């Protein structure tokens, strides 16, 4: 047996199959693994990116775990068809680890807000039926999201509020909904970001690490394309804010992700 003390991280939200990685997606996966980011969750967007996601995931079965979902900003007039496709794909795919990303985004556009809400609730119910966690994208939609989760309460949905930048009070409301985690990403490294203070009051047992690559790049790479190999910068900042070691952050957040996604 080979012992090594390299830290292990899980990027619970990364889109390395995005157009921006057209020329070097495989190299980006390898850079992540070399940096200790040995496992990555690929949230789905919609049918236009699903094949790229699944084919990259298939090349690294022990490292990449794909999901299935309709992103709130992809909800448009053909949303019912899109959900039908998800329903069919869910029956066939044996390897998906979560439903998502789903949720609501009232910042991007309010045009399909009612459809977003219905599509979100449909996906929460699907996840419960399949026994899978939900990856939630919530932007300027906290009340609507919590309303849906309360309506589904008896089904005991669980999962993660991805890219969480809310207040301590919002975190406490989320905690009362059941078995929920918050995904912390590059924003925590930004100057003056309130989440850097809030994180001190969020137990490590409820935190997942994520990059949201290619977006939300952490300092010191802010302004560049984000990639999963930068995840340790986020862990380092959380450790600094909480006054604990990065090893402790790596260990606990990895355990959290393994538990939630069963990977
Ligand atoms: Ni995302």
pLDDT tens-digit series, residues 138-190: 999 999 999 999 999 999 999 999 999 999 999 999 999 999 999 999 999 99
Residue 241 CB-density burial (10 A; 0-12 exposed, 13-18 middle, 19+ buried) = middle
Q: Ligand 1: distance of its center to the CA of 236 in Å?
A: 22
Q: Ligand 1: distance of its center to the CA of 43 in Å?
A: 6
State yes or no: pLDDT of 240 exceeds 90. yes
Q: How far apart are CA 106 and CA 5, in angstroms?
A: 44
- For the stretch 91-135, pLDDT in tens is 887 889 999 999 999 998 889 999 999 999 999 999 999 999 999
Q: Ligand 1: distance of its center to the CA of 5 in Å?
A: 31
State yes or no: pLDDT of 254 exceeds 80. yes
State yes or no: pLDDT of 40 exceeds 50. yes
pLDDT value of position 108: 83
pLDDT value of position 1: 45
Average pLDDT, rounded, for the chain: 96
Mean per-residue pLDDT, 63-92: 96
State yes or no: pLDDT of 69 exceeds 70. yes
State yes or no: pLDDT of 82 exceeds 60. yes
pLDDT value of position 189: 97
The first and second tokens of residue 217, run together, are: 């790049």
Where does residue 85 fall: left (phi above 0), alpha (psi -120 to 50 degrees), or beta otherwise? alpha
Mean per-residue pLDDT, 12-28: 98
Q: Ligand 1: distance of its center to the CA of 118 in Å?
A: 20
Q: Ligand 1: distance of its center to the CA of 150 in Å?
A: 23
Q: Ligand 1: distance of its center to the CA of 196 in Å?
A: 20
Q: Ligand 1: distance of its center to the CA of 101 in Å?
A: 7
Cα dist from 45 to 8, 26, 109, 173, 209, whole Å: 27, 20, 16, 27, 19
Q: How far apart are CA 94 and CA 177, in angstroms?
A: 28
Q: How far apart are CA 163 and CA 46, in angstroms?
A: 19
State yes or no: pLDDT of 6 exceeds 90. no
Q: Ligand 1: distance of its center to the CA of 48 in Å?
A: 14
Q: Ligand 1: distance of its center to the CA of 135 in Å?
A: 9
H or E element in which residue 85 lies: helix 79-92
Q: Ligand 1: distance of its center to the CA of 155 in Å?
A: 25
Q: What CATH number is given for 68-261 in this structure?
A: 3.20.20.140
Mean per-residue pLDDT, 235-247: 97
Question: What proportion of the chain, given as a percentage, has pLDDT over 70?
Answer: 98
């Amino acid at each position: 047996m080979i012992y090594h003390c390299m830290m292990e991280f899980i990027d619970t939200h990364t889109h390395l199959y995005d157009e921006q990685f057209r020329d070097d997606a495989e190299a980006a996966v390898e850079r992540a693994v070399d940096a200790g980011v040995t496992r990555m969750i690929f949230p789905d967007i919609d049918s236009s990116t699903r094949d790229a996601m699944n084919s990259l995931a298939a090349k690294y079965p022990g490292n990449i775990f794909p999901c299935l979902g309709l992103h709130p900003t992809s909800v448009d007039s053909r949303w019912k068809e899109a959900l039908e496709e998800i329903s069919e794909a869910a029956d066939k795919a044996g390897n998906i680890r979560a439903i998502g990303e789903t949720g609501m985004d009232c910042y991007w556009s309010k045009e399909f807000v009612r459809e977003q809400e219905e599509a979100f609730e449909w996906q929460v119910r699907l996840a419960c039926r399949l026994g899978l966690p939900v990856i939630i994208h919530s932007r300027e939609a906290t009340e609507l999201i919590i309303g849906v989760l309360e309506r589904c309460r008896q089904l005991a949905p669980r999962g993660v509020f991805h890219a969480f930048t809310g207040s301590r009070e919002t975190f406490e409301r989320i905690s009362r909904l059941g078995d929920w985690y918050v995904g912390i990403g590059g924003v925590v490294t930004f100057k003056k970001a309130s989440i850097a203070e809030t994180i001190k009051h969020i137990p490590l047992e409820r935190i997942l690490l994520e990059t949201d690559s290619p977006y939300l790049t952490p300092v010191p790479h802010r302004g560049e394309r984000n990639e999963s190999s930068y995840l340790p910068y986020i862990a380092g900042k959380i450790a600094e804010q909480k006054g604990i070691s990065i090893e402790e952050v790596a260990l606990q957040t990895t355990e959290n992700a393994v538990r939630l996604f069963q990977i």
